[in-house]
Amino acid sequence: MWRLDDLLKAVKGTVLRVEQDQFTAIATDSRSIKQGELFIPLIGPNFDGHLFAADAYKKSGGGTLCQKGREAACEEAGGTIILVEDTTKALLDLARYKRRQLSGRFIAITGSNGKTTTKELLVHIMGGFAHVAYNEKNYNNNIGVSQTILSITGQPAYCILELGTNHPGEIALLADLVEPDMSTITNIHASHLEGLGDIAGVFREKVSLFERTKEDGAIFVNVDDPALRPVADKPMRRAYTYGIELQADFVLSWEGAKGLDGFDLEFLLQGEKVRTTTRLLGTHNLYNIVTAVAIAHVLRVPKETIRARVADFEPYPGRFKATRSKKGYTIIDDAYNANPSSMEWAIDTLEQLPCKGRKIAILGEMRELGEENAYYHRELGRFLKKSGLSSILFFGEAARIAYDEMNNGRAKFFDDKQALIAYAAGLAREDDLILVKGSRAMRMNEVVEELL
């Protein structure tokens, strides 16, 4: 329940009209707002929530915030109206106010790759141990993180939040909002270069999470990542290290891959051995696992809970999930997103997996690479040229660069998705193993859906 006095204190707003002085919750979507909620009309490049303030009031009977200069758009809305300088900032201010009323420990996760899987796995492990709140799907920007905090009910013991970025300063903003007690950066790779510039820019952006973790908190450092290793040597907070290749506080090894069934695993957790299995595929996912397990162990989750929860965790759609089709071939759905390193990891994993038929990759272009776009697509073409894949199908204008770089009969380029799907459907045979991957904007999930 939000009282008017608390709202005004949080957003430093001015009351234009008072009809209600208590609100059940905060809402930003006029389509799903519920009775008694306060509406926050956000403004973006292609939308203005103020245009829906009247509709929101009809459903909620509550009230609305109003950004200065948009008063006329709120005149038809009934209920309480509070004037603020900026409605997006007000949303963050409300989330910050709510955050400081929560007594549980906050854990923040960022990184170039693997942050969503790491978050979901940690939530799965901790959910067998305590009351946990977390951001669903990939609600990891300033709006999504704020909405997640505002939606928390009760006093969860742990709040696990994934933080994303595509421009400088976003992680710092989110970390200041979340005030994490613990944090980790999964890895540093070429991602969102359109906004972050280069690998050094990615590092500066991501490491701001460690810098803003509470001084008495803890950070978890992937010592196998060359960019992050120096942080472990001169930690800015109490540091725990984890990895697979180098000596660390938490080390993961595997006795052998089991093909599409995953791995048999052994953890060395600060000297204690724990054995389990995983259904996740690819060594890149093993890093996500050891990250989550390290945090869970420090939070004193029993070893048996860790063992059982890692073993029964299922991969999510779009994140290297293997599904056998009705026609007998297997689709590896990694369509959620792509950057240069995750492309190479996915292709490496495809090559390592056992397969009675052919191995085929269907690849959409990589986005947000800025001035390095052509370079990284050429590198992808060179990488694929050395691969043993039977066929590579490219989609998207930038992917043509990779196709031209390959310059051999195994590759085909498509600028029409339906033509790509039709060709792939005719190409695929029983027992083939087919990887589908690309940047989110390419909607390669539509290819997966059609082929399954």
Question: What single string gives the DSSP state of each residue in 246-277?
Answer: S--SEEEEEEEE-GGG-EEEEEEETTEEEEEE
The answer on 402 and 300 residing in a single domain is no
Domain CATH number, residue 118? 3.40.1190.10
Euclidean distance between CA atoms 310 and 293, whole angstroms: 8
Q: What is the mean pLDDT of the chain?
A: 95
Whether 291 maps to a domain, the answer reads: yes
- Is the pLDDT score of 143 beyond 90? yes
What is the reported pLDDT for 234? 83
Whether 246 maps to a domain, the answer reads: yes
Whether 93 maps to a domain, the answer reads: no
- Is the pLDDT score of 322 beyond 80? yes
- Is the pLDDT score of 251 beyond 90? yes
Which tens digits make up the pLDDT trace of 176-190? 999 999 999 999 998
Residue 75 binned pLDDT confidence (cut-offs 50, 70, 90)? confident
Q: By percentage, how much of the chain surpasses pLDDT 90?
A: 89
What is the reported pLDDT for 416? 97
Token representation of residue 378: 């050429």
How many domains is the chain partitioned into structurally?
Answer: 3
Euclidean distance between CA atoms 234 and 78, whole angstroms: 56
Residue ranges of E strands in 85-232: 105-110, 132-134, 158-162, 182-185, 218-222
**Residue 110 forms beta bridges with which residues?**
185
Domain CATH number, residue 14? 3.40.1390.10
Query: Which residues constitute the domain of residue 10?
Result: 2-85
Euclidean distance between CA atoms 297 and 290, whole angstroms: 10
What is the reported pLDDT for 200? 93
Q: What is the mean pLDDT of residues 25-51?
A: 95
Q: 203 near 226, Cβ under 8 Å?
A: no
Residue 383 binned pLDDT confidence (cut-offs 50, 70, 90)? very high
Q: By percentage, how much of the chain surpasses pLDDT 70?
A: 100
Which tens digits make up the pLDDT trace of 4-15? 999 999 999 999
- Is the pLDDT score of 387 beyond 80? yes
What is the reported pLDDT for 194? 85
The answer on 75 and 126 residing in a single domain is no
Estimate to the nearest angstrom the gap between the alpha carbon of 136 and the chain centroid: 9
The answer on 124 and 53 residing in a single domain is no
What is the reported pLDDT for 407? 87
Whether 94 maps to a domain, the answer reads: no
What is the reported pLDDT for 255? 78
Whether 446 maps to a domain, the answer reads: yes
Q: What is the mean pLDDT of residues 392-413?
A: 95
The answer on 336 and 302 residing in a single domain is no
**Residue 242, φ and ψ in degrees, nearest 5:** -145, 160
- DSSP assignment, residue 299? T
What is the reported pLDDT for 161? 98
Euclidean distance between CA atoms 448 and 411, whole angstroms: 19
What is the reported pLDDT for 336? 92
The answer on 350 and 266 residing in a single domain is no
What is the reported pLDDT for 235? 81
Contacts of 62 (CB under 8 A, 6+ apart): 20, 23, 24, 35, 36, 37, 38, 39, 79, 80
The answer on 218 and 111 residing in a single domain is yes
What is the reported pLDDT for 440? 92
Euclidean distance between CA atoms 348 and 314, whole angstroms: 21
- Is the pLDDT score of 137 beyond 80? no
The answer on 328 and 305 residing in a single domain is no
- Is the pLDDT score of 256 beyond 80? no
Domain boundary, last residue among 85, 112, 131: 85
The answer on 185 and 118 residing in a single domain is yes
Would you mind telling me the total number of residues written for the chain in this entry?
A: 452
Domain boundary, last residue among 85, 117, 142: 85
What is the reported pLDDT for 138? 76
Whether 232 maps to a domain, the answer reads: yes
Which tens digits make up the pLDDT trace of 154-182? 999 999 999 999 899 999 999 999 999 99
The answer on 411 and 298 residing in a single domain is no
The answer on 287 and 208 residing in a single domain is yes
Token representation of residue 246: 């180098």
Token representation of residue 113: 């790759």
Q: 64 near 120, Cβ under 8 Å?
A: no
Element holding 239 (H helix, E strand): strand 238-243
Whether 337 maps to a domain, the answer reads: yes
Q: Which residue has the higher pLDDT, 194 or 137?
A: 194
Whether 36 maps to a domain, the answer reads: yes
DSSP for 269-325 reads ETTEEEEEEE---SHHHHHHHHHHHHHHHHTT--HHHHHHHHHTPPPPTTSSEEEE-
Q: 287 near 388, Cβ under 8 Å?
A: no
The answer on 326 and 304 residing in a single domain is no
Domain CATH number, residue 345? 3.90.190.20
Residue 100 binned pLDDT confidence (cut-offs 50, 70, 90)? very high
- Is the pLDDT score of 299 beyond 80? yes
Domain boundary, last residue among 55, 85, 115: 85
- Is the pLDDT score of 55 beyond 90? yes
The answer on 331 and 301 residing in a single domain is no
Euclidean distance between CA atoms 417 and 393, whole angstroms: 11
Token representation of residue 286: 């093993």
